[in-house]
Amino acid sequence: MPEPNPILICARRVAANRLTLEEGPRTPSAPTVSITTLSTPAESDYTLSNPLPEPAEAAAVDETATPSTESAPKPGSYDAALALGEDLIERPLAGGGPARVRTQHAKNRMTVWERIKVLTDQEPMILYRNWGPELDGASIVTGILNIDGRDVAVYGHDFTVRAGSMDATNGAKLARLIHMAGEKGIPLIGMNDSAGAFVPAGVGGLDGYSEAFTALRKISGLVPSISLMFGYNAGGGAYLPRQGSFMIQCEETFIGLTGPGVVKSVLGEDVTADELGGPGVHGASGVADLIAPDELGSLRTALRLLNYLPDNNKSPAPRLDTSDPVDRYTAEEDRLFRRTFDSPAGMNAPMDIGLYLQQICDHGEFFEIQPQRARNMVTAFGRLGGWVTGFVANNSAVASGQIDIDAALKATRFIRFCNLYNIPLIFVEDTTGFLPGTEQESRGIIQAGRKLLDSIIDVRTPRMTMIIRNAFGGAYAAYNSHYTGADLVFAMPMARVAVMGAAGKDFVYKDEMRAIAANHKKALADGASEADANRLRDEALAKLTTQYEDLLMNPKEALSLGSVSRIVMPGESRRILARNLDFLMRKYTPGPMGGPQREHE
């Protein structure tokens, strides 16, 4: 066979292409045009036709095609279950919907999910996502968060869903989380933003609160808890969070048994929500332990507080290594005392005890609890050599540091918390005693003082006392003295440990006092002017007072009796306290409280 001519082959291909294009659109049944008569066995067929039908052709096919016996597959039960699961997971995240979220933001309030994001940047492990036909359980979110590597149980009311109200399902859901926190030994944070019980739920709403009340009481003393107050909280919404260890309230919020409207209708009293249950009221009364300017401040305050708290009553509070040398000499402490006691008021000059705490805490940082209440007593967490420590300090800048009812109750609560959760205590003493007077007696200063004394006697954690200046009478005896169980008692050289203050000279120098009074009377009878007679009397009394202070108002007797362990010079407080605290904590084994339960709180 002769070799095919390349020119002829090319001509044939062009002709075939032209014929194919001239045919125009075809129906699927039209034959394909090809030139087979001009082909040779060694040649291939070429075409520019689209092997797939055009849209118009496809429509024609659908109209003429015979109905298929196989239709598109319908979603099966498995796919339906997946769709349901996705809906149940996503629905709580949506809350009450965009409109309700916008309303929440218009009130300068976050949603519960936004609050969770402030607490942690880790994905939350949300538990018990109830969402019933009546929104049962949907208005509260519960879960476990990872906060700085620590597991923390958290709950938060979703105000966009039924105003965060409580029903039986919510109560059971919340109680289950609280019990889990106690069983697993992890702290609890509650974000409260609830209108109270869901009225249409009837008694179920009240039962929900009862179940939550009981659960929170059961874990008290097992794990610490922090309650954050947002929005308007009344009735059970006020009781439940106060059962926790600490409550934080921010501005523009309300906490109360009832609102202003009920007070107006029952008592006829016109009062605003802020005057009735605002942060100013509860900060001064001690209902709220900490006050913050807004929600973000509350959440960050909770994180800072959590940094000082242990996970449970079996573990110590988190210890942090410090770059602040524990053996450093603090010259500022010496200057503080020098400027105070060299002032015209002398040993009676007031001093803000917070300035002293700054000198002994790591990097000068401490975290005060109930700072709006009873400023004559300071209670605070701080670190000393890395160890979390509770400080209970008299503040002579307010009411001479005298202990009144509010100060005693404030200190009692703080001491008991530290005792439960293995936190050591340092008492800083500078008080002339318990505040006397009819007002205090009528309110029960004896009962409040007894509570303070009992809480100190019951302390089992390491504890020390530093006497700065005044330590008189019953206040000295009750305020963590050696015989109430203090591990160590230190005193500054200007400490004045005595049964009474300067008034004690009336009992020690009775004969001398009578002689001074007789001389004053005789001088007046002899014709001396009243001014001269009074001047001579006052000079004699001042001399007697100085003699009394030099003889008895100093640490010498207490040191000789062993009531004081040693004298600490100004500037050395941090070194002495840190070294001894480290020794005591290394020999202390954290654990839950045991032994008999006493009658009184």
Enzyme catalytic residues: 235-236, 474-475
Adjacent-strand bridge partners of 177 = none
* Other C-beta atoms lying within 10 Å of the C-beta of residue 426: 25
Contact 367, 381 (CB under 8 A): yes
Give Cα 348 to chain centroid, integer Å.
Answer: 37
- Give the CA distances from residue 342 to residues 264, 294, 348, 469, 494, in Å, rounded to whole numbers and listed in that order: 55, 42, 10, 14, 12
With b for 16 or more beta-carbon neighbours within 10 A and e for fewer, the 212-236 pattern comes to bbebbeebebbbbbbbbbbbbbbbb
Contact 431, 470 (CB under 8 A): yes
Distance CA 461, CA 485 (A): 10
Angle at 556 between CA 454 and CA 462, to 5 degrees: 35
- Give the CA distances from residue 61 to residues 20, 30, 64, 289, 425, in Å, rounded to whole numbers and listed in that order: 22, 13, 5, 79, 90
- Give the CA distances from residue 516 to residues 24, 205, 505, in Å, rounded to whole numbers and listed in that order: 139, 75, 13
Q: Half-sphere exposure of residue 106, counting CA atoms within 13 Å on the CB side?
A: 7
Q: Half-sphere exposure of residue 93, counting CA atoms within 13 Å on the CB side?
A: 9
Q: Strand order in 290-292's β-sheet? A: 125-127, 140-147, 150-157, 188-192, 225-229, 246-250, 290-292
What are φ and ψ of residue 378, in 5° steps?
-110, 125
- Give the CA distances from residue 364 to residues 16, 172, 398, 498, in Å, rounded to whole numbers and listed in that order: 96, 44, 22, 31
Adjacent-strand bridge partners of 228 = 191, 248
Handedness of CA 9, 13, 18, 24 (dihedral sign): positive
Distance CA 277, CA 566 (A): 48
424's CB contacts (< 8 A; 6+ apart) are 387, 389, 390, 418, 461, 462, 463, 464, 581, 584, 585, 588
Tokens representing 299?
Answer: 């959440």
Handedness of CA 183, 186, 187, 189 (dihedral sign): negative
- Give the CA distances from residue 126 to residues 138, 354, 509, in Å, rounded to whole numbers and listed in that order: 12, 41, 73
* Other C-beta atoms lying within 10 Å of the C-beta of residue 125: 12
- Give the CA distances from residue 19 to residues 13, 26, 50, 301, in Å, rounded to whole numbers and listed in that order: 10, 13, 15, 85
Tokens representing 190?
Answer: 């509650």
